[in-house]
Amino acid sequence: MGTWATHAFGNDYAQDWAEDLQETRNMEAVENTLDTALNNGDAVLEAPYAAEALVAIEVIARLQGHWGLRDDDTEILDLWIAEHPQRARQDLAEKAHRVIDRILSEQSELRQLWAETEHYDDWRAAVEELRGRVSL
């Protein structure tokens, strides 16, 4: 996985997901991504799905008006938000919080990969910051 930052946008999976979002007009891709992260039972949540879920959660936070980081890495997603203003459904915000719990759990490959680095605390803080921007 090409990773260059601890924030949700700092990896290839997230960038690819944000580019694919450009093909949609509604929240279906966001919901499907959250459901994928939640619906794998007790199996380990694979890193690509977790990375995509974090960007899907960014969509929810931004639609709620809680933008967070805005830079070249976020530009594709920010453009989609501007072109498709809508309200993020409450049930998606609730799912987002459950997904973050899953991503930070022992059953998350993404957490396991970050835990092996010196940047784990920064990554975890970025995920917790994102959680704080999603209003329930």
Query: pLDDT tens digits for 101-113?
Result: 999 999 999 999 9
Q: Which residues of the chain have pLDDT under 50?
A: none
Residue 41 pLDDT: 80
Question: Domain-by-domain residue ranges, the chain?
Answer: 12-133
- 25 near 81, Cβ under 8 Å? no
Residues 110, 43, 94, 57: is their CA dihedral positive or negative? positive
pLDDT value at residue 1: 54
pLDDT tens track for 25-42: 999 999 999 999 999 888
pTM confidence score: 0.96
Nearest to 120 by CA among 132, 108, 133: 108
